[in-house]
Structure 1
Amino acid sequence: MADPKGFMRTPREEWPRRPVAERVQDWDEVYVPGALLPIIRRQADRCMDCGVPFCHEACPLGNLIPEWNDLVSRDDWRAASERLHATNNFPEFTGTLCPAPCEAGCVLAINQPAVTIKNVELSIVDRAWEDGWVRPQPPERLSGRTVAVVGSGPAGLAAAQQLTRAGHTVAVFERDDRIGGLLRYGIPAFKMAKDRLDRRLEQLRAEGTKFRTGTAVGRDIGARELRARYDAVVLATGATRSRELPVPGRELAGIHQAMEYLPSANRVREGDLAVSPLSAAGRQVVIIGGGDTGADCLGTAVREGAASVTQLDIRALPRPERTEAEPWPVYPAVYRLSPAHQEAGELGSAPVSDADARLFAASTVRFEEGADGRVGGVRVADVDAERRPLAGTERALRADLVLLALGFTGPELDDGPVAQLELALDGRDVIARDASFATNVPGVFAAGDAARGQSLIVWAIAEGRAVAAAVDRYLVGTSQLPCPIGPWDRPMRA
């Protein structure tokens, strides 16, 4: 480490956010441009270069965090970029979108604020792009083998890049009109600017990866035909089946899944639509679900000019500090204030809330019909420790737009690769696979949320890298590609 007492001399300092009143007027990223670099060397100095760095264990990519922290603290940014890219194809994606389980595993986090690992990561990759160090890495020779990757989210893109660099001819099939999956249409631009995605796609194209947009496997091309055409197939279609809420009134108009709402808002930013057909402008919005997708809906609704926005979270209000039930180094369920929650809180967007825009320990009992036949309200109740509604606590919230952000249950099972290839499923209705990421159909592999279930972006990238090594080995008998995780590895839990 550059400064053995860095963690004692320097307090944790994070990338400052732009003022709420300013940033809700646009769709740019929420942080102050240029304000990260001046503080990041001192923050990297706080890393203790531990003998047993638990940040490695907490990160499924096995990122070499102490190494690039030390290099940044010594002002060797190019070497830091090389170490960062050695384990992560897309550090700008994780640097903006990952909830940073590595920071929960930081040894400093035992009794101090953790190192700002995520901020250091993003500053390295931004500097690398700015100085021209991120360049295409095409293979020296082609293997003569072909691979189809179905799905262009982080798992599919990571697999495609690794396999292309290994010399295979790779085509990525995406049913939407643009590449990126949820990175393109599910993540709001204020959370990650789309030019971060676009410049990576240009790198992949320059390396030789081919993209086939507007092509739904199972509809535009049969899954069996695809398998016959390519030497191997990687299914990285994601977990796109949204979880439902079967309560009375669900059939009312004005109740939508989050992944109906967010893509429309993103298409406005892409220039496809003048106004979203599901715009929250002037509406009383209730978001059901307390996770990241719900927060994305919240920030989007605020920017669209909603009259009010309330987010329901069935969980109890989290404590500010980790408890004994969630000891270091596991990722704790503590109270976190996302940029979207900060915005809604400061603007008073929720008429009734426990904190920022959220109602905690709240369960949806039923939806109520309004005067126009659409949804007009949400009936909620407090819940007990088992998340069961408590008698006598029911109350009504006004709502003419309800967004369901309850997570995802697995890949689509009908009229697609799963059905057409007769893929085996495990007990969670995700694609079953063996220790080499292979499905029950020879030459067909599965990666990412389609096989793991809903997870974090850092796990998706790790899955993409790992399945690429398995496919490479299947095609040529051996592989030099890294395999950071196995198909059954899971995050550290208490």
Structure 2
Amino acid sequence: MGKATGFMEYDRIPSPVRDPKKRTRDWNEYSLPMPEVDLQIQAARCMDCGVPFCHTGEEIKNGVSGCPLHNLIPEWNDAVYRGEWREALDLLLKTNNFPEFTGRVCPAPCEGSCTVAISEPAVGIKSIEKAIIDRAFEEGWIKPQAPLKRTDKRIAIIGSGPAGLACADQLNKAGHTVTVFEKSDRIGGLLMYGIPTMKLEKDSVNRRVNLMAEEGVEFVTNIEAGKDITMEQLQAEYDSVVLATGAGNARDVQLPGRDAKGIYFAMDYLTQSIKDILDNNGVQTMSAEGKNVIVIGGGDTGADCVATALRQGAKSIYQFGHRDKLPDARTIKNPWPQFPKVFQMDYAHNEARAVYGDDPRQYLVSTTEFIKNSRGELTGLRTIDVDDIDAERNIKPVPNSEKIWEADIVLIAVGFAGTTKSVFEDFQVAKTNRHTIDARKGFYRTNVEGVFACGDARYGQSLVVTAINEGREAAREVDFYLMGETFLP
């Protein structure tokens, strides 16, 4: 490495962010660029560890350890330390089609398995990745690169989220003619309508989509494949079909009073908010202004709901979770290089604390009833405290812990239960017991000849970086299926 002793000499420098209270007044990204001198110091902390784990992408006890894309992290850290930014870009793009997305929204499992992180704060890998690609766009290094020659093969990709886009990008590079079908009015899937603008501004998504279009990928919006264009038509017009429809079957909370007005699925709420920012001058039509908001679900989507409700001017916000508060440091049951299950303040929770004076998260809380008035409008929640929840999702209530919370809006963010039922009906693909498309990893082939599946539709709800990797690997298998050989990585 450029600085073999850097990890002993330098401390980790946190990624700079905008003031938590001030940024809640707009919908712009909360992160700020890191000065180049700080980036080089961060890169210098990447130690010559011999066997780096940051890029392994292995699953350990149902958790990702290291980067699923197998990014060449030590190599591009070294290039940044030496000031060789073009070299760093070339190394980054060898494994990652969209580092401008992962550098913003990935939870960085690479940092959890960083060797420095055994005893010290990890190398700031995510901030370096973001800086490399942002600089590349600013300097004009990213230009359209259409394939030099085309094959006679046509491929339809259903879904334009990170898996579908990565698959399309790779197959286009191989010279195939690729058409991406998207049922929404904009390309990007959850990158467009799911991840809030304060984490990922949509100009970044549009910029990448426009670049791919210049390289020859065709995008078709407002078309629901399987209905507006049937499976028979797709098979007649295309040599192969890739299903990258995502895991859109949201889990519900079936409790007394569930029909009350004011209860929404998190993704419906987030999608409408983003649509209003893009099409309605920011005027929020599903607004939490002046209302008491409760988010059920302790994950990232729930945190995004907190941040969105804050910007809409909510009177109060609480986020409920079944689990106990995570420890401040790894426990013996969560050793390196597993993803660290430790307490963190997400961007949304920092904002809520700045505005309301406290972290909005409430731990070991289970909702038992939605309370509504005579007009059917939500007025509150009834909850109990729980000791914890086991692997079978059974809860152990605490006696005499019932409580009523005032609530005008409830946002359900308890995850997804696989692919929507219509996908299996429209495309006649087999499904697993997890309600995902049955297509074995490494092959990505479904039971239907010439039809492949990748991303959350096959894997289940996961990370953007995992979806990109799935798209890349599926592209290689499609290319091999069509050509009898493949040179895709």
Report sequence identity in percent.
47
Which residue number corresponds to residue 257 of structure 2? 249
Question: Where do residues 121-140 of structure 1 align in structure 2 (5 Å cutoff)?
Answer: 121-140=129-148
Q: Deviations over 1:343-367 (max 9, x none)?
A: 1012117xxxxx6110011111111
Q: TM-score, normalised by structure 1?
A: 0.94
1:439 aligns with 2:481: no
Offset, 1:273: 6.5
Please list every run of 5 or more consecutive structure 2 residues that lacks an aligned counterpart in the other structure: 57-65, 390-394
Alpha-carbon contact 1:152-1:179 (below 8 Å) kept: yes
Alpha-carbon contact 1:60-1:458 (below 8 Å) kept: yes
Which residue number corresponds to residue 60 of structure 2? none
Distance of 1:116 and 1:167 partners within structure 2: 36
Which residue number corresponds to residue 428 of structure 2? 422
Distance of 1:263 and 1:231 partners within structure 2: 33
Offset, 1:130: 0.8
Distance of 2:282 and 2:134 partners within structure 1: 31
Q: Give the letter for the 1:233 counterpart.
A: V
Which residue number corresponds to residue 17 of structure 1? 17
Alpha-carbon contact 1:15-1:36 (below 8 Å) kept: no
1:141 aligns with 2:149: yes
Distance of 1:407 and 1:371 partners within structure 2: 31
Q: Give the letter for the 2:261 counterpart.
A: A
Which residue number corresponds to residue 28 of structure 1? 28
Distance of 2:45 and 2:93 partners within structure 1: 22
Please list every run of 5 or more consecutive structure 1 residues that lacks an aligned counterpart in the other structure: 350-354, 483-494
Relative distance call for 1:126 and 1:207 in structure 2 (3 A) is: same
Which residue number corresponds to residue 466 of structure 1? 473
Alpha-carbon contact 1:41-1:72 (below 8 Å) kept: yes
Q: Give the letter for the 1:378 counterpart.
A: L
SS at match of 1:103: helix
Q: Give the letter for the 2:369 counterpart.
A: R
Which residue number corresponds to residue 376 of structure 1? 379
Q: Deviations over 1:45-79 (max 9, x none)?
A: 00013211000111110100000000000000000
Offset, 1:38: 3.9
Distance of 2:315 and 2:97 partners within structure 1: 41
Distance of 1:467 and 1:69 partners within structure 2: 28
1:412 aligns with 2:443: no
Which residue number corresponds to residue 455 of structure 1? 462
Distance of 1:36 and 1:225 partners within structure 2: 52
Q: Deviations over 1:141-185 (max 9, x none)?
A: 101100000000000000000000100000000000000011111
Offset, 1:372: 4.0
Alpha-carbon contact 1:136-1:203 (below 8 Å) kept: yes
Relative distance call for 1:10 and 1:274 in structure 2 (3 A) is: closer
Question: Where do residues 41-440 of structure 1 align in structure 2 (5 Å cutoff)?
Answer: 41-57=40-56, 58-272=66-280, 275-348=283-356, 356-370=359-373, 372-386=375-389, 387-414=395-422, 417-434=423-440, 435-440=442-447
Offset, 1:275: 3.0
Alpha-carbon contact 1:36-1:123 (below 8 Å) kept: no
**Runs of 4+ more than 6 Å apart:** none
SS at match of 2:241: strand
Alpha-carbon contact 1:36-1:119 (below 8 Å) kept: no
Q: TM-score, normalised by structure 2?
A: 0.95
Q: Deviations over 1:8-29 (max 9, x none)?
A: 1110011121112210111111
